[in-house]
Amino acid sequence: MPMKIGEQPFFDRVDEALENDFMRTAMASAQDRLRGRKLDATVNDEQIGDWEEWRSAGEEIRRHTLENLDFYLNQLSENFSKRGGHVYFAETAEDATRYIQEVAKRKNAKKITKAKSMVTEEIGLNEALEEIGCQVYETDLAEYILQIDDHDRPSHIVVPSLHKNKEQIRDTFRDKAGYTGTEEPRELTAFARSQLREVFLEADIGVTGCNFAVAESGTISLVTNEGNANMVTTYPETQISVMGMERLVPTWKELDVMVNLLSRSAVGQKITTYITNLTPQLEENSVDAPKEFHLVILDAGRSNALGTEFQSALHCIRCAACVNVCPVYRQIGGHAYGSIYQGPIGAVLSPILGGYEDYGELPFASSLCAACSEACPVRIPLHEQLIRHREIYVAQKGKVSEKLAMKAFGIGASTPSLFQGAVKGMPAIMKPFVKNDSISSGPGPMKLWTSIRDFPSPEQNNFRSWFKHHKDGGDS
């Protein structure tokens, strides 16, 4: 499955990430930078007013849209078709890639330009198009870097090549594309631009994702900073946009709110450089619109969340605000998640889309600190959904020993005499392990704790006795 990155087990990926000092330093400094910028464009920005009200508006818009998803999908589809566009509803990733392959074959397409899109990454579109002999060119700078570096995978939803520094990018350009310049970002960008300019002119098909689709007008809206999407959507005669079925808003009014939430939450921009709105054109003589426009609306597991406690995970607008504040992502980076969706939203979304077999461990890779829930501009209760995933996972695949331990916990916790017995008996049981008033090498389940930290020695005295004595006036 293309959403999946690699076949290594989760803990191997984590170990590998923890050994990668460069990547971890890059993640930490990127987080600190992005967090500061986000705060300046949200809670600290007086111009925008009360950020919490914006979040509430965003949540309300997303909830309303998802609760009436069939209505708005139908409206979008009708309006898009009415203007001459072709709409295809794809139930699976395979359905989507097959449809797009058919369009490419019919057009006898050789070169395809793409603007950044997570959803095409999710369905493995590049591989599918290469399979039928097309050359696919990623035109977004970060995606371009990953593509020429032997199809490296994204490590961040908004900044996909976050795990690479400028020296590594220079080396990649040199080894894979014959670059001879320095690691100066401006020079690197100019090189990528010169490489891509010719491709833009030659492309037969342009492929984009979709940040939001406006149901009332049948419009695909793209939020970008580089302008490459405009080249991808204007030069080729055929255009294909792919969207997750949840990515729509009722009207332009809601689009305004969502774009504000997205650009401010993602990288702390008050407004993005480009907002490209594409509506199919019926007019024969239109000069700046593609002659053929396809919209692929993808389910691919999304409907698993509809009508469940996870429905609000579909509110996600892919801003990565949760990723940018996650203390776990900070340490392990994006690749360790094994999914193209990383961080807290990745740990919630990946099991919904891809199941617990591949992604069941991700919901446990969280300390439930709730920084994600606090950061989300549309108020997805991410840390609560991580707990819901854990509930389902342990019910299906939980270890027997853990289930028994939790059962014992339940019995102990509802039987005060047992609990008190445990508290009283603990010092004696733990005594052999206590040295200098703490435990540095504990038995059984304590082993993992004491492998890195000391454990406090149990209290010798009994608080309840002290309290009783204290209340009876027995102490000073």
Partner 1 sequence: MKISLFITCLAEMFYQNVAKDVVEVLERLGCDVNFPKGQICCGQPAYNSGYRKDAQKAAKQMIKSFEHSEFIVTPSGSCAAMFKEYPELFKEDPEWLKRAEAIADKTYEFTQFIVNVLKVEDVGAVYPAQATYHTSCHMIRLLKETEAPFKLLKNVQGLELLPLENSYDCCGFGGTFAVKMASISEQMVDEKVRHVEESTATLLIAADNGCLMNIKGRIDRKGKPIEVKHIAQILNTRVEGRN
Nearer to partner 1, 118 or 370 (CB): 370
Which tokens hold the place of 404?
């028994």
Nearer to partner 1, 286 or 441 (CB): 441
Nearer to partner 1, 271 or 404 (CB): 404
Draw the binding track, 349-388, toward partner 1 (x: CB under 8 A; -: no contact). Answer: ---------------xxxxxxxx-xx------------x-
Strands, E assignment, 124-195: 135-138
The strand pair at 438-439 and 455-456 is best described as antiparallel
CA distance 310 to 314: 8
Q: Is 263 in the site for partner 1 (CB under 8 A)?
A: no
Q: How far is the CB of 472 from partner 1 (least distance, A)?
A: 13
List strands edge to edge, sheet with 219-224: 248-249, 212-214, 219-224, 274-278
Which tokens hold the place of 417?
């005499």
Q: How far is the CB of 370 from partner 1 (least distance, A)?
A: 4
User: Which listed range, 113-121, 171-179, 240-248, 464-472, lies at the site for partner 1 (CB under 8 A)?
Assistant: 464-472
Candidate list 1, 15, 63, 153; residue touching partner 1; CB under 8 A: 15
Question: What is residue 339's DSSP assignment?
Answer: B
Count of residues that interact with partner 1, criterion CB under 8 A: 67
Nearer to partner 1, 1 or 426 (CB): 426
Q: Is 345 in the site for partner 1 (CB under 8 A)?
A: no
Question: What is residue 315's DSSP assignment?
Answer: G
Whole-Å CA distances, 51 to 164, 266, 379 = 33, 14, 12
Comparing C-alpha atoms, which of 223, 324, 227 is closest to residue 271? 223
Q: Is 435 in the site for partner 1 (CB under 8 A)?
A: no
Nearer to partner 1, 194 or 461 (CB): 461
Q: How far is the CB of 290 from partner 1 (least distance, A)?
A: 46
Q: Do residues 139 and 111 touch, judged by C-beta distance below 8 A?
A: no
CA distance 306 to 249: 17
Q: Is 394 in the site for partner 1 (CB under 8 A)?
A: yes
Dihedral, CA of residue 449, residue 450, residue 453 and residue 454, to nearest 10 = 120
Question: What is residue 458's DSSP assignment?
Answer: P
User: Which listed range, 10-18, 62-70, 206-214, 297-305, lies at the site for partner 1 (CB under 8 A)?
Assistant: 10-18
Candidate list 452, 472, 473, 474; residue touching partner 1; CB under 8 A: 452
Comparing C-alpha atoms, which of 239, 287, 227 is closest to residue 112? 239
CA distance 361 to 355: 11
Q: Is 191 in the site for partner 1 (CB under 8 A)?
A: no
Q: Is 16 in the site for partner 1 (CB under 8 A)?
A: no
Q: How far is the CB of 318 from partner 1 (least distance, A)?
A: 23
Q: Is 164 in the site for partner 1 (CB under 8 A)?
A: no
Candidate list 107, 390, 433, 434; residue touching partner 1; CB under 8 A: 390
Which tokens hold the place of 121?
């990454």
CA distance 227 to 116: 11
Q: Is 457 in the site for partner 1 (CB under 8 A)?
A: yes
Candidate list 181, 355, 451, 469; residue touching partner 1; CB under 8 A: 451
Q: Do residues 341 and 157 touch, judged by C-beta distance below 8 A?
A: yes
Q: Is 407 in the site for partner 1 (CB under 8 A)?
A: yes
Q: Which residues share a beta bridge with 114? A: 138, 207
Nearer to partner 1, 132 or 405 (CB): 405
End-to-end Cα separation, the chain, in angstroms: 69
Binding residues for partner 1, per CB under 8 A? 11, 14-15, 18, 24, 28, 32, 325, 327-328, 330-332, 364-371, 373-374, 387, 389-395, 398, 402-403, 406-407, 409-416, 419, 423, 426, 438, 440, 445, 448-449, 451-459, 461, 463-464, 466-467, 470
